[in-house]
Structure 1
Amino acid sequence: MTANAASSAATGAIAPVAAVSGVGKRFGATQALNDVQLTVQPGQVHALVGRNGAGKSTLVSILTGLQAADSGTVEFNGRPAPALADRLAWRSTVACVYQKLTVIDELTVAENLFLGRQAEPRRPISWRELRTRSERLLADWNIDVDPRLEAGDLNVEQRQLLEIARALSFGARFVILDEPTARLDAAGIASLFERIRNLQRQGVTFLFISHHLQEIFDICQSVTVFRDARYIRSDAIEDITHTQVVEAMTGEKVASAVDHRPPAPTADDAILSVRSLTDETFDDISFDVRAGEIVGLAGNGGSGKFGVAESIVGLRRPRQGDITVSGRPQRLGSVPRALAAGIGFVPQDRHADGFVEGLSIAENVTMTVPHRLGRGGLLSTKRRTEVATELIRRLDIVPPRPDQPAGELSGGNQQKVVAGRAIADDPRVLVLMAPTAGVDVRSKESLMQAAVRAAENGAGVLVVTDDLEDLRYCHRVLVMFRGRLVAEMTGSWDDRELVSSMEGVEFGDD
């Protein structure tokens, strides 16, 4: 019996679902975890927060048995963690729903739920029995997903619930949620939180990882803060404030609110003009962005805002409409033409459209600017390193090594790499789609300051997001609802009015 288990038995207390004590982990010269601790009590939603690189991902990999700690102890329900090779024991103990989901789109919900377990050994698969087992599992946990549907037809929230249900099917009652709201709108977040509360009432415990601090206060009962690979503090939610969490994450006092926006542009000429843009998810969208101006495009998940942005940068071809950059008409539906016209962009999904994990930071950030790296079709590796080093400095990418594989970076630093590629050629127009999703408060500042510097250098910047903190960098905010522009906010707007417009209600209505 371990010391923690013996103590719990002696006092009659219920052992923690997960208990980490004195855990350290090193990768070469990098100390990823240094004597950290974490205690998750049964039935709680416990938040783990910290800046990118604080050690959260490394701890998750240890808590899920993907790698062993160099020092310290990990216990579940008062017992030592299983041996790394005992994968079935790990699956029945803990599961993680990652931001990058592992659902197989081409399989049905039922097939995903029992992948590799469709039938008993040496027995043929009974599809009827598989559906029955799936229906029973989903009903037991009040998860409303049709097991006959293909997973590719599910929305993000349903796919997350599918992953949770699959974990529960192994017997795990401890689930780690890694940035579960990063790709959800306000309605999807509210629905997911209600599902989490329902599962809590049925005895499921969660470790909740998020960079959106308000979510921590909305759904969690306790919080642990890491900084620079070290444990900083743990508190009940009612005993800590937003400011204290941020100060613990950064190690600095929170400054008074400031106006992040660069000086408003004085010229009226539009550097980006969008006219009558129409497609399946949006209709008759027209607006301008001036040189030196930062414009926000906000709306909930069904607003069509990302469709508009993807049309501007060439990722999709709208049914009709016109886009001009510096007065020159653009060919729709062509990323190379958009880049040639001076449009740089950060895509909504960095994993699908952002960077190549197997390439280095330098190769990723210079991917679209071969003309800056040599002549006559010959690329200078020295010049590539020089360009990359400057972008790494401007965006504070960690570690600051041009030859570092991009796939080994934290999520926030991967996002910075994608932003570096977007600004590598000093674009006339910079389009940022959900630029700070899944990144910490300091990385948010670095990314948005890149937008400010681009505007100060004369670019027109379009920030496509519903993150209120990102929108504070904007001179104007255009609001979309159900595919149409419904409001424009200028100057110092009221957040409540902005959110009301995004949700399609009149400000002040009950």
Structure 2
Amino acid sequence: MTTHNPPHDLRAAGDPGRPVAAAIDVSKSFGATRALIDVGVSVAPGEAHALVGRNGAGKSTLVSLLTGLVKPDRGRILFDGEPAPPVADRAGWQARAACVYQKSTIIPTLSVAENLFLNRQSDGPRRISWKALRTRAAALLAEYDIDVDPAAAAATLAVDQRQVLEIARALSFGARFIILDEPTAQLDGANIAALFGRLRRLQEAGVAFLFISHHLSEVYEVCQTVTVLRDARHILTAPVAGLDKDELIEAMTGEDRSARAEFAVDRYTPPSAGTAPALRISGLSLTGAFDGVGVTVGGGEIVGLAGAGGSGAVTFGETVAGLHRPGAGTVEVAGRPVRTGSVPDALRAGLGFVPEDRHAQGVIPLRPIAENITLTATDRLGRHGFFTGESLRRAGGALMRRLDVKAEGPDQPVSALSGGNQQKVVMGRALASSPKALVLIRPTAGVDVKSKESLLGTVRQAAEDGCGALLVSDELDDLRIAHRVLVMFKGAVVAEFPSGWGDAELIAAIEGLGGPDAGREPDQDPEQGPDQNHDGVDAPGEGAGHE
């Protein structure tokens, strides 16, 4: 598929005057929990329709109904004006609707071709012709302008390639209605733009999208219509054009804009002379990721570190926390040297860590909340490492109240929580050991507006209590709470912005288009520079050669 020649027009498969998919007054309960109450949504052919709401609003349940995973207790699901097939008719559902989830369903150990035609490798009982399978896959990939080797292992694909592969797989069944669940959560700016370009071209061919995102700017960029759910009910459906952003947030939260948190950042006042920084990173290098990077974070200071995919920012944060062993450089927490490449040593030194992927790195899904949220502080629950279940629940409950985790109680499995509450558990675990410094990587990814405000408020409170924080994120809302923001590009810090920066100049620096102090290397000694080196970046190469 090219910009000028979209694939065969899929609109011919249905009536262009009827919604491609619709839920009419659907309700669904799970035990005593009412997950949806008389909710409706209608998606037209070729439309990008946003579905937004706080975690727990009912979005996931509606997706389950629209993809045939569960049956509504009341109401109807229609495709092209016709009733949805029975839940047991999986082939019927696959021909009508598909969901590309935030967590990829591509099987990494299989080839691209095998993933595209999973369980359809051959017609009937005949033996599989792998050559024919790869030929079919190549034709499908070419139709949608996906430059991927059909024989390649899916594990070698980038995140954006896996997403497009899932979309192509759905279209190969004949589905014209595709749900995208947080499709940009793990993409950088260039890949997001490429994905949006593909979506627009597919819309021209009649494909309809239900677009689920917590990034409201993307809703305004991509979608024509938005539906808001709140507390399991339908609140609003309106054209995106002309809908004020504050109105949209008010519909999502049920709160007047004046009641929402504002993160005005005061000027950072460094501790008294001679006080060790909360976090000092000097000359840190990791082959292929970054080279000679240094950052100093004072006690009570929040330093943002921004960068697009491939900038090295996320890998840098992970290396500081001990997930990767650098080739050179040093890390100190409150003046104590940390053995690089060791998560336990970083923890013992007083470093709290919120990883990027809460599913893979953040929580143990089937274990209780209390156990998850206190993992970094079990030595404090009892003498000599021995503690009772009651002390665990008591400590877990206290942290749950501090982070405002919405749950039945500390014994509830983490897997039963919404994404925002799971992220609060991860944040609570980072704070459980009363750290002197925090490394936070995209701490609000995939959470709703209210959870984001709560999480960022927790970071600010930790800073007010004297903890230093290195906040690695490409989310502008995250970075607004920082006292200053450093920008990484191609493995180096290229710019520094004080609080009060403008969106355009920060984005320009993130995309490699420069910014204030771009490429500047401070010429002052870290202990003697203005504000005790709170001008920004340690000189590249400082501390190189030390583990």
Q: Which TM-score applies when normalising by structure 1?
A: 0.95
Q: Quick check: 1:111–1:118 contact (8 Å CA) kept in 2? A: yes
Residue aligned with 1:463, SS: strand
Residue aligned with 1:160, SS: helix
Give, in whole Å, the separation in 1 of the partners of 2:184 and 2:108: 20
Give, in whole Å, the separation in 1 of the partners of 2:280 and 2:215: 33
Give, in whole Å, the separation in 2 of the partners of 1:504 and 1:257: 32
Residue aligned with 1:265, SS: coil
Most deviating of 249-258 and 163-172: 249-258
Residue aligned with 2:126, SS: coil
Residues 201-251 of structure 1 deviation map (CA, whole Å, 9 limit, x = unaligned): 122110000000010000001000001111001011114121111010011
Matches within 5 A, 1:88-487: 88-255=91-258, 258-261=262-265, 264-267=268-271, 269-279=276-286, 280-487=288-495
Q: CA deviation at 1:13?
A: 7.1
Q: Quick check: 2:16–2:45 contact (8 Å CA) kept in 1? A: no
Give, in whole Å, the separation in 1 of the partners of 2:97 and 2:209: 10
Residues 426-455 of structure 1 deviation map (CA, whole Å, 9 limit, x = unaligned): 111111101111111110011111111111
Alignment of 1:82 with 2:85, yes or no, is yes
Q: Quick check: 2:282–2:292 contact (8 Å CA) kept in 1? A: yes
> Structure 1 vs Structure 2: percent identity of aligned residues?
55
Give, in whole Å, the separation in 1 of the partners of 2:267 and 2:35: 40
Matches within 5 A, 1:31-46: 31-46=34-49
Q: CA deviation at 1:134?
A: 0.4
Compared with structure 1, are the counterparts of its residues 377 and 426 closer, same or farther at alpha carbon in structure 2 (3 Å cutoff)?
closer
Tell me the equivalent position of 2:500. 492
Q: CA deviation at 1:461?
A: 0.6
The one-letter code of the counterpart of 2:472 is V
The one-letter code of the counterpart of 1:340 is R
Compared with structure 1, are the counterparts of its residues 392 and 260 closer, same or farther at alpha carbon in structure 2 (3 Å cutoff)?
farther
Give, in whole Å, the separation in 1 of the partners of 2:304 and 2:496: 10
The one-letter code of the counterpart of 2:514 is E
Matches within 5 A, 1:4-83: 14-83=17-86
Q: Quick check: 2:480–2:499 contact (8 Å CA) kept in 1? A: no
The one-letter code of the counterpart of 2:280 is S
The one-letter code of the counterpart of 1:271 is A
Q: Quick check: 1:265–1:291 contact (8 Å CA) kept in 2? A: no
Residue aligned with 2:382, SS: coil
Residue aligned with 1:75, SS: strand
Give, in whole Å, the separation in 2 of the partners of 1:391 and 1:421: 8
Residues 164-200 of structure 1 deviation map (CA, whole Å, 9 limit, x = unaligned): 1111111111100000001111111111100111111
The one-letter code of the counterpart of 1:141 is Y
Compared with structure 1, are the counterparts of its residues 428 and 217 closer, same or farther at alpha carbon in structure 2 (3 Å cutoff)?
same
Give, in whole Å, the separation in 2 of the partners of 1:13 and 1:206: 15
The one-letter code of the counterpart of 1:147 is P
Compared with structure 1, are the counterparts of its residues 258 and 398 closer, same or farther at alpha carbon in structure 2 (3 Å cutoff)?
closer
Give, in whole Å, the separation in 1 of the partners of 2:16 and 2:119: 38
Most deviating of 337-346 and 289-298: 337-346
Give, in whole Å, the separation in 1 of the partners of 2:117 and 2:99: 16
Give, in whole Å, the separation in 2 of the partners of 1:195 and 1:385: 49
Most deviating of 205-214 and 145-154: 145-154
The one-letter code of the counterpart of 1:20 is A
Give, in whole Å, the separation in 1 of the partners of 2:65 and 2:396: 33
Q: Quick check: 1:430–1:460 contact (8 Å CA) kept in 2? A: yes
Residues 371-390 of structure 1 deviation map (CA, whole Å, 9 limit, x = unaligned): 12223443211111111112
Structure 1 outlier segments of 4+, above 3 Å: 256-263
Compared with structure 1, are the counterparts of its residues 131 and 231 closer, same or farther at alpha carbon in structure 2 (3 Å cutoff)?
same
The one-letter code of the counterpart of 1:352 is A
Residue aligned with 2:278, SS: strand
Q: Quick check: 1:261–1:452 contact (8 Å CA) kept in 2? A: no
The one-letter code of the counterpart of 2:295 is F
Q: Quick check: 1:24–1:71 contact (8 Å CA) kept in 2? A: yes
Q: Quick check: 2:270–2:298 contact (8 Å CA) kept in 1? A: no
Residue aligned with 1:270, SS: coil
Q: Quick check: 1:262–1:455 contact (8 Å CA) kept in 2? A: no
Give, in whole Å, the separation in 1 of the partners of 2:265 and 2:149: 47
Q: Quick check: 1:232–1:248 contact (8 Å CA) kept in 2? A: yes
Give, in whole Å, the separation in 2 of the partners of 1:285 and 1:124: 55
Give, in whole Å, the separation in 1 of the partners of 2:434 and 2:30: 36
> Structure 2, unaligned stretches of length 5 or more?
1-14, 517-547
Residues 52-87 of structure 1 deviation map (CA, whole Å, 9 limit, x = unaligned): 110001111111111111111111111111111111
Give, in whole Å, the separation in 2 of the partners of 1:229 and 1:264: 42
Q: CA deviation at 1:495?
A: 2.0
Residue aligned with 1:369, SS: helix
Most deviating of 125-134 and 24-33: 24-33
Residues 89-108 of structure 1 deviation map (CA, whole Å, 9 limit, x = unaligned): 11111000000101111111
Q: Which TM-score applies when normalising by structure 2?
A: 0.88
Give, in whole Å, the separation in 2 of the partners of 1:343 and 1:190: 36
The one-letter code of the counterpart of 2:176 is R
Q: CA deviation at 1:145?
A: 2.5
Most deviating of 405-414 and 41-50: 405-414
